[in-house]
Structure 1
Amino acid sequence: MTPRRGERPPVPEALPVPVVDAHTHLDAAAAAQGLPADAAAVGEILDRAASAGVDRVITVADDLAAARWAAEAATWDDRVFAACAVHPTRTADFSDDDRAAIEELAKQPRVVAVGETGLDYYWDYSPPAAQRDAFAWHIDLAKRVGKPLMIHDRDAHDDILAVLDSEGSPEDVVFHCFSGDLDFARRCVERGYVLSFAGPVTFSNARALREAAAYAPLDRLLVETDAPYLTPHPYRGRPNEPYCAAYTARALAEVRGMDVADLAAAVSATANRVFSLLSVTSQHSRGERLG
């Protein structure tokens, strides 16, 4: 039966071990379904995710307004964390005021990463030079605030690595929606980077991507949705939500020839380590008790 475009995919059976959706856009996921991006809609999305074994999410910004929203949304529910940056395609007019605002947001405790930032040579919304300048600034910000850098890399593999090599990488670098082949995966892993896989790893034409997913060390592996985009097979083209990370986790386990419980436990541990999620949650709980 052909999936009906516009309808959410069915919520799958819960994973045996919960995972973190390491990169999603809760505001856009709500909007894609005609819902307001408010606490109630976020709660509904998170409840569906929990029923599939996706127990926490990192909601990611692509401009200043989205960054402010993400940082606020991370205070609405303990299952939500945020990442803040200005997307490379939005950097043509990246001002000093924008930089100051992003820096203040990045310092907030529930903002657990600087991202998504990087280079995008597919779209021509922002000149490459402006993108590189903004990318270098975000790299420096991640180092100054001591948080992971979340990379957007579209048709820019070599230049991404060149900028990271030149500027000096933060301690933790995550390639969101990893899109490279086996050779590029090796080059990233050699540098200590983490590879996060989204719905495209399930697509029928993604042989090179699956080779990279099979190669990535288990402690350098994350799963994500990038919702509302990139819905996993066989629901490609339908609205994506964090619960669909369960489909991708099962596909990754199959690609790697391992039990899905072991895969889920490993990617959850990696998310906890890279983004310091348990520490942030503990601090938040202590703050609530003191308050």
Structure 2
Amino acid sequence: MLVDSHAHIDTSRFDSDRESTIQAAVNGGITRIVDPGCDLVSSQQALMLAKSHPGTIYAGVGVHPHDATTYTQEVEAQLREMAREPEVVAIGEFGLDYFRMLSPREVQRAVFCAHLQMARECNLPCIIHVRDSHDDVIELLHAHGQGLRGVFHCFSGDVAQAEECLSFEGFVLSFAGPLTKQGNALPEVARMAPLDRILVETDSPYLVPKPLKARRNEPLFVKHVAEKLAEIRGMSLEEIAQVTTANAARLFGLGETHETV
């Protein structure tokens, strides 16, 4: 019993086998999947998926920093309208990405703040993308994010950065495929993070976890992230599944814990 707290199964890479991929995850004990939008169209598609898979798929609505230049008042109005739907459980994914810089820094910052305001007004958690932008994210959260809740998705920083993120009381860290790989500080972060403030995700179709050699990630593979997290914490997979599922249900308002399928 696991929740994949971040999977882009609305993307075209699942067009040929989306339904069988979802069913494989459910059959494998992945009880719920959160699909965050990256722009207006993908937010709409995530919501349609959630409506067609009630109780299994939930949507986030937002604009990824790569697409920040597409964010307009009209887009914001449509995202706000979608956020009223019961299947929408978060605002996001949004954030700052200074690695690829596909949108200008100041545009990214302005759109980031607009999403924070939307999350506040809609009373929904945030799904935050951070890449090579930790200091600015923390700065803007201090200025505009007080009292909000959410997740730093696919956390990739070090212990000091994790501590800064966790200083925001309503926020949690989510671990993905990079936790299963060497050459980063994530094992140390996974050991220090409070158990009630961690999630697992795939970020499908990206970031295939080790030891898999698949070309595409999918929600079923969140088990490998959870197994690594359990190993690091000295816990069983069942214990980690119980903890992270409860955390996801609490953050996103997913209701009572489902029985393992």
Q: How big is the shift at 1:42?
A: 3.6
Residues 1:23 and 2:6 are matched in the alignment: yes
Cα RMSD after superposing both structures: 1.5
Q: How big is the shift at 1:89?
A: 1.0
Aligned to 1:116: 93
Q: How big is the shift at 1:236?
A: 5.2
Q: 1:156 to 1:55 in 2, by over 3 A?
A: same
Q: Can you give the 5+ residue segments of structure 1 that lack an aligned partner in the other structure?
A: 1-17, 36-40, 282-291
**What is the 5 A alignment of 1:94-133?**
94-133=71-110
Moved more, 219-228 or 230-239: 230-239
Aligned to 2:143: 166
Quick one: which of 132, 138, 145 aligns to 1:155? 132
Q: Secondary structure at the match of 1:26?
A: coil
Q: 1:32 to 1:261 in 2, by over 3 A?
A: same
Q: 1:20 to 1:106 in 2, by over 3 A?
A: same
**What is the 5 A alignment of 1:1-291?**
18-28=1-11, 31-32=12-13, 35=16, 41-78=17-54, 79-192=56-169, 193-206=171-184, 208-235=185-212, 238-278=215-255
CA distance in 1, matches of 2:168, 2:43: 28
Q: 1:198 to 1:54 in 2, by over 3 A?
A: same
Q: 1:186 to 1:225 in 2, by over 3 A?
A: same
Q: Secondary structure at the match of 1:174?
A: strand
Larger radius of gyration: 1
CA distance in 2, matches of 1:252, 1:123: 29
CA distance in 2, matches of 1:238, 1:215: 32
- Report the TM-score when normalising by structure 1: 0.84
- Report the TM-score when normalising by structure 2: 0.94
1:49/1:242 contact within 8 Å kept = yes
Q: 1:205 to 1:117 in 2, by over 3 A?
A: same
Q: How big is the shift at 1:170?
A: 4.5
1:249/1:263 contact within 8 Å kept = yes
Q: Can you give the 5+ residue segments of structure 2 that lack an aligned partner in the other structure?
A: none
Q: How big is the shift at 1:171?
A: 3.1
- Aligned residue pairs, count: 255
**Paired amino acid for 1:59:** D
Q: 1:111 to 1:266 in 2, by over 3 A?
A: same
Q: Secondary structure at the match of 1:142?
A: helix
CA distance in 2, matches of 1:221, 1:204: 20
CA distance in 2, matches of 1:152, 1:237: 24
Q: How big is the shift at 1:97?
A: 0.8
